[in-house]
Amino acid sequence: MPDVTLPGGVLRVALDVPVRRLFDYLPPQSGPAATFPETHPAAACPGIRIKVPFGRRRLVGIVVETARASDVPRDRLKPALAALDAAPVLDGEALALVRWAADYYHHPLGEAIACALPKALRLGAPVARTEQRWVATPEGLEAFQRGEPRRAPQQRRLLALLAGQQDASAALDAPVSLALGATGSATPGGMLGPGSEPAADSPRWREAARALARRGWAACRAETVAPAPVTTTAGARAAGPPLTAEQALAVQRIGGSLGRFAAWVLHGITGSGKTEVYLRAIEEVLRRGQRALVLVPEIGLTPQLVGRFRDRFDAPLAVLHSALTDPERLAAWREAFSGQARIVIGTRSAVFAPVRELGLIIVDEEHDPSFKQHESGFRYSARDVAVMRAQRAGVPIVLGSATPALETLHNVSTRRYERLSLPHRAVQSEPPRMSLVDLRAHPAHTGLSTPALQAIERHLREDGQVLVFLNRRGYAPTLLCTACGWIAPCKDCDARLTVHRAAQRLRCHHCGAETRLPERCPQCGFLVKSVGQGTERIEETLAETFGAGALVRLDRDVVRRRGDMESVMARVASGAARILVGTQMVTKGHDFPNMTLVVVLNADQGLFSTDFRAPERLAQTIVQVAGRAGRGAKPGEVLIQTEFPEHPLLRNLLAEGYEGFARTALAERAQAAWPPFSRLAAVRDSATTPEAALAFLTDARRAAGRT
Ligand code: ADP
Ligand code: ZN
Ligand code: ZN
């Protein structure tokens, strides 16, 4: 295969396909893109989007680099169809970061880039915001002068408006539906005119506009909207509380590191005022005319948190999270890209968000598993990518947590990171008392032991609120036939199905498969029985004892839509609900000053798991939930139900707190040569036959030198 040198050069393009290589194309050859070499000098090419033929499809890819030659024979090289951008959507820094991540996590670059860009851009939406605007044509203006249209008052009114606008050389915002469909712009259509006019997207209005267009009197034009001017002055709108000495020291150290790379671990107990430290550090960043990137876990990005940023700063904020619609995500990305947003706050994939003149990165709850994509696709740790981003950009990063990941603590002890401690609550209140309930002495038939039930009753009597935590949603984790021993299995994977009683479904929490809930055993016809507890069943048990009205549940089954979580939280905040039952979701978020008791139902799942990180997750969860207790004037109490009260990790956690736990757990990891004292890679294989999968895995093991 001869190397051919091409006069126009070769574009090496990353495409969103699961193939581990770049694809070579010639520059576009005809049409408006024929000017490609002039408008896109080779150096400016990387980072622009390009539309290319790919098999029978047309795909939008990113030009990663240009080359003089290709390994592909010249007659097989195809020209690209069109360049979509005049300037890169991924600048040199951004592209280098994604390339690093794709390389580090062994993932195809095209798919990694797809994580970094909103879907609308990947489908070809313009980088700049466009709006559809209706204008009167010259014929329309003439017709209007003549007093037309005479018999269509709605059209006459509309033409009058358009004619009036024409004079002011302005135009009218189009209905949102048109703007959305055509361009992906999220600008809401406003009202057509003053008060009495119909809303811009009302069918009658649209009808009139179309009628005018048919007569050639009006036309709809797409116009690029210049981004609002970038604010140069941005700062605090409100002053925060006077800082505690510990907070002041943290702010001072972080502030002193602006302008160079430094990795700070802000280790502060829940309520110690970490967020206040972030706010002050960002204030300094804004004062320098720079921007901040804030990453928060999936469940941490509440309207409360965003509200706290908005209340504090007189600066535009772009918010990026997984529940955004595609147009919303594009709009937020544009705010960040244009530099208009001074603070970009988002969940995992926001680590790749464009932020100009980046001054500081903050990762809140850095230990949170949602920063790591586990399930499928591009598996990366947003926290670790963020550290790399900070290092490349030469800016400090703050990793905040009440329960830092063991890897992070290890990085502190090896001096790669430096710790700033906030060991006290910002607002005077006692840390909660923690104790264990021995389930061997106090069996829990309904999931709740007698001491736990008594404690709940006592706290309710004393006007407190109670949080009951169980990290398992659904009604019961197992459906069992008591006659033949059949256990409902998932057809698609090897997990067991979870009973969801309200929905009358069996669901696989592993792969998502589901079926109807059977009444009888499919094997022998005997009645089946739900075994074990999930939040749905605990809710039922508690409702029997304390009344359903006092109760509210929070888990992924309850929170299906945006706003659901808010309404649940509002019921707790108002005091309407006295008991909150929930999964992981309850560990972060609101402050409930009246929450005086936390009950952890099943600690033992975490103690004996095949996942070496399970004990760490357990300890983090216990500390995080416990942090919900006693944040007000009344002291808090935490009860942890376990069958293993002697377990050293639990003992350590209770006696010495997370710090003590972490020391023991890290020593165990060192002894067993688990990360961070070793590296771990998972080799996963999927195939149509077990033999093929096994053959590959056997080869892989041999290649790794283990036989
Ligand atoms: P964390 O993020 O560590 O959980 P927050 O920053 O949310 O802590 O602070 C907990 C509570 O204490 C909040 O209500 C916050 O407004 C308040 N707070 C934080 N710092 C101070 C301070 N220096 N003085 C008074 N109140 C503070
Ligand atoms: Zn059976
Ligand atoms: Zn399954």
Token pair 């659904």: residue = 474
pTM: 0.81
pLDDT at 271: 84
Has residue 576 got a pLDDT over 80?
Answer: yes
Question: Which ligand sits closest to the CA of 513?
Answer: 3
DSSP state letters, 611-652: STTHHHHHHHHHHHHHTTSS-SSSPPEEEEEES-TT-HHHHH
Arithmetic mean of pLDDT over the chain = 85
CB atoms within 10 A of CB 468: 27
By CB neighbour count within 10 A (0-12 exposed, 13-18 middle, 19+ buried), where does 356 fall? middle
For the chain, first and last CA: distance in Å?
39
From residue 358, how far is each of 168, 263, 336, 344, 512 by CA, in Å? 40, 15, 11, 10, 39
- Cα–Cα distance for residue pair 155/689, rounded to 1 Å: 66
The strands making up 82-83's β-sheet, listed across from edge to edge, are 23-25, 4-14, 57-70, 49-54, 82-83
Question: Which ligand sits closest to the CA of 486?
Answer: 2
Report residue 383: phi and psi, to 5°: -65, -45
Q: Is the CB of 427 under 6 A from ligand 1?
A: yes
Among 247, 343, 248, CA closest to 295: 343
Cβ contacts of 438 within 8 Å, gap of 6 or more: 642, 643, 645
Q: What is the mean pLDDT of residues 85-100?
A: 92
- The per-residue pLDDT for range 257-278, each reduced to its tens digit, is 999 999 999 999 888 999 999 9
Q: Which has the minimum average pLDDT: 465-469, 517-521, 648-652?
A: 648-652
Closest ligand 1 atom to Cα of 242? 23
Question: Which ligand sits closest to the CA of 529?
Answer: 2
Closest ligand 1 atom to Cα of 244? 23
Q: What is the mean pLDDT of residues 66-75?
A: 85
Which residue's alpha carbon is nearest to atom 4 within ligand 1? 271
3-state SS assignment for residue 317: strand
Cβ contacts of 570 within 8 Å, gap of 6 or more: none
From residue 250, how far is each of 274, 276, 296, 676 by CA, in Å? 9, 11, 20, 26
Has residue 461 got a pLDDT over 50?
Answer: yes
Q: Is the CB of 276 under 6 A from ligand 1?
A: yes
- Cα–Cα distance for residue pair 394/444, rounded to 1 Å: 54
Q: Is the CB of 273 under 6 A from ligand 1?
A: yes
Cβ contacts of 205 within 8 Å, gap of 6 or more: 154, 158, 175, 192, 198, 199
Report residue 655: phi and psi, to 5°: -75, -40
Has residue 595 got a pLDDT over 60?
Answer: yes
Q: Is the CB of 247 under 6 A from ligand 1?
A: yes
Q: Which residue has the higher pLDDT, 446 or 453?
A: 453
- The per-residue pLDDT for range 134-171, each reduced to its tens digit, is 788 888 889 888 888 888 888 888 888 888 765 433 33
Q: Is the CB of 578 under 6 A from ligand 1?
A: no
Token pair 């075994």: residue = 531
- Cα–Cα distance for residue pair 380/389, rounded to 1 Å: 13
3-state SS assignment for residue 437: strand
The alpha carbon of 244 and the centre of ligand 1 are apart by a number of angstroms equal to 10
The alpha carbon of 427 and the centre of ligand 1 are apart by a number of angstroms equal to 7
Closest ligand 1 atom to Cα of 279? 6
Among 394, 293, 304, CA closest to 349: 293
The alpha carbon of 498 and the centre of ligand 3 are apart by a number of angstroms equal to 10
The alpha carbon of 243 and the centre of ligand 1 are apart by a number of angstroms equal to 9
Q: Is the CB of 131 under 6 A from ligand 1?
A: no
Question: Which ligand sits closest to the CA of 485?
Answer: 2
Kindly state the percentage of the chain with pLDDT values over 90: 53
pLDDT at 608: 81
The alpha carbon of 492 and the centre of ligand 3 are apart by a number of angstroms equal to 5
Has residue 5 got a pLDDT over 60?
Answer: no
Which residue's alpha carbon is nearest to atom 15 within ligand 1? 273
Per DSSP, 187 falls in state: P
Question: Which ligand sits closest to the CA of 522?
Answer: 2
Cβ proximity of 439 and 642 under 8 Å: yes
Q: Is the CB of 243 under 6 A from ligand 1?
A: yes
- The per-residue pLDDT for range 615-651, each reduced to its tens digit, is 999 899 888 888 888 777 777 899 999 999 999 888 9
Q: Is the CB of 539 under 6 A from ligand 1?
A: no
Question: Which ligand sits closest to the CA of 482?
Answer: 2
Max avg pLDDT among 45-59, 187-201, 254-268, 634-648:
254-268
Q: Which has the minimum average pLDDT: 163-172, 280-289, 324-333?
A: 163-172
pLDDT at 287: 93
The alpha carbon of 473 and the centre of ligand 2 are apart by a number of angstroms equal to 25
- The per-residue pLDDT for range 353-397, each reduced to its tens digit, is 999 999 999 999 999 999 998 767 899 999 999 999 999 999 999
Q: Is the CB of 582 under 6 A from ligand 1?
A: no
Closest ligand 1 atom to Cα of 272? 3
- The per-residue pLDDT for range 15-40, each reduced to its tens digit, is 999 888 999 998 887 544 445 555 55
Closest ligand 1 atom to Cα of 278? 6
3-state SS assignment for residue 347: coil
Q: Which residue has the higher pLDDT, 674 or 8?
A: 674
Q: Is the CB of 240 under 6 A from ligand 1?
A: no
The strands making up 514-516's β-sheet, listed across from edge to edge, are 498-500, 505-507, 514-516
Task: Give exposure, 511-522, as e/b (b: 16+ Cβ within 10 Å).
Answer: eeebeebeeebe
Helix (H) or strand (E) segment spanning residue 59: strand 57-70
Closest ligand 1 atom to Cα of 364? 2
DSSP state letters, 2-54: --EEEEEEEEEEE-SSS-SS-EEEBPP-SGGGGGHHHHS-GGG-TT-EEEEEE
Q: Which has the minimum average pLDDT: 91-95, 228-232, 306-310, 345-349?
A: 228-232
pLDDT at 234: 64
Cβ contacts of 536 within 8 Å, gap of 6 or more: 473, 474, 475, 500, 501, 502, 553, 557
Max avg pLDDT among 216-225, 510-519, 564-573:
510-519
From residue 580, how far is each of 455, 464, 584, 598, 605 by CA, in Å? 15, 12, 12, 10, 21
Q: Is the CB of 426 under 6 A from ligand 1?
A: yes
Among 57, 184, 178, CA closest to 125: 184
Q: Is the CB of 403 under 6 A from ligand 1?
A: no
Has residue 183 got a pLDDT over 60?
Answer: no
Has residue 235 got a pLDDT over 80?
Answer: no
Which residue's alpha carbon is nearest to atom 11 within ligand 1? 271
Pocket-testing residue among 246, 420, 427, 628, ligand 1, by greatest number of atoms within 8 A of Cβ: 427
Pocket-testing residue among 275, 283, 421, ligand 1, by greatest number of atoms within 8 A of Cβ: 275
Q: Which tokens belong to 484?
A: 């033949």
Closest ligand 1 atom to Cα of 268? 3
Q: Is the CB of 589 under 6 A from ligand 1?
A: no
Q: Is the CB of 627 under 6 A from ligand 1?
A: no
Among 32, 62, 37, CA closest to 127: 62
DSSP state letters, 647-689: -HHHHHHHHHHHHHHHHHHHHHHHHHT-TTSS---------SS
Closest ligand 1 atom to Cα of 276? 6
Q: Is the CB of 275 under 6 A from ligand 1?
A: yes
The alpha carbon of 482 and the centre of ligand 2 are apart by a number of angstroms equal to 7
Q: What is the mean pLDDT of residues 318-330?
A: 91
Cβ contacts of 622 within 8 Å, gap of 6 or more: 434, 600, 603, 638, 640, 653
Q: Is the CB of 401 under 6 A from ligand 1?
A: no
- Cα–Cα distance for residue pair 131/174, rounded to 1 Å: 7
The alpha carbon of 270 and the centre of ligand 1 are apart by a number of angstroms equal to 9
3-state SS assignment for residue 500: strand
- Structure confidence at residue 86 as a pLDDT band (50, 70, 90): confident
Which residue's alpha carbon is nearest to atom 25 within ligand 1? 241
Has residue 7 got a pLDDT over 50?
Answer: no
